[in-house]
């Protein structure tokens, strides 16, 4: 039977659609292969939070997270640097503190606390009154303790520790009176029967003692 003109047109239309679909599938396959190849080269995968995202979405998400990371980490890094610097400054003299504490039967935390408030661990510190070094020894006190160079950390810490031991022995182990004598001299502690009413000493003793208790 001969096909009508309308039937022939329908057959041609179906063939054309089939060809178009085949071309589209081929194009999509080629394009997907191209995208996958580029992603493999860049080592990029779709976002783990949404695996259905396309390769390009994963690319942009990964780039955004990569760029954001240094910004969020910067303040933390700076904060850590400050803490690290301070820690290194303090721990630099820790072996000398431990050695002096053992030699003079002292709690190393007491030596640490005195140094913290006397010089803040600056071995070159000098006061207007002439006190020198980590534990701020006065020249006359340094001579009495046989410290020949107060700027030498080992000599200075040993001298200061020896003086603290003497003051603790003098005041029956009373740390607060020993600290008052370290700051104002034992003569003033004896004269006033306790912590002298000097503004500096009145502030010094509780600050150092509190650091000692909380260190």
Cβ proximity of 159 and 140 under 8 Å: no
Tokens describing residue 128:
């207007």
User: Which is nearest to 169 in space by CA: 150, 194, 186, 156?
Assistant: 186
Q: Which residues of 156-177 are buried (b: 16+ CB within 10 A; e: fewer)?
A: bbbbbbbbbbbbbeebeeebbb
- Measured CA to CA in angstroms, residue 126 lies from 39, 121, 134, 136, 208 at distances of 64, 12, 9, 7, 19
The rounded distance, in Å, linking the Cα atoms of 198 and 191 is 12
Q: Is 118 a catalytic residue?
A: yes
Q: Which of 88, 118, 154, 200 is catalytic?
A: 118
The rounded distance, in Å, linking the Cα atoms of 209 and 206 is 5
Tell me which residues are annotated as active site.
118
């Amino acid at each position: 039977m001969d096909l009508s003109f309308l039937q022939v047109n329908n057959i041609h239309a179906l063939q054309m659609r089939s060809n178009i679909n085949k071309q589209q599938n081929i194009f999509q396959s080629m394009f997907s292969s191209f995208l996958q190849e580029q992603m493999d080269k860049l080592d990029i995968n779709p976002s783990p939070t949404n695996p259905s995202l396309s390769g390009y979405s994963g690319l942009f998400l990964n780039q955004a997270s990569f760029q954001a990371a240094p910004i969020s980490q910067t303040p933390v890094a700076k904060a850590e640097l400050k803490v690290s610097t301070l820690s290194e400054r303090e721990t630099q003299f820790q072996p000398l503190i431990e050695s002096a504490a053992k030699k003079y039967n002292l709690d190393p935390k007491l030596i640490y606390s005195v140094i913290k408030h006397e010089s803040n661990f600056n071995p070159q510190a000098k006061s207007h009154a002439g006190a020198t070094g980590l534990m701020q020894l006065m020249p006359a006190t340094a001579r009495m303790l046989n410290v020949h160079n107060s700027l030498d950390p080992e000599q200075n810490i040993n001298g200061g520790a020896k003086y603290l031991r003497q003051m603790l022995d003098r005041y029956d182990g009373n740390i607060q009176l020993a600290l008052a004598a370290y700051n104002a001299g034992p003569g003033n502690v004896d004269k006033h029967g306790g912590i002298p009413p000097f503004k500096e000493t009145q502030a010094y003793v509780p600050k150092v003692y509190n650091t000692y208790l909380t260190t």
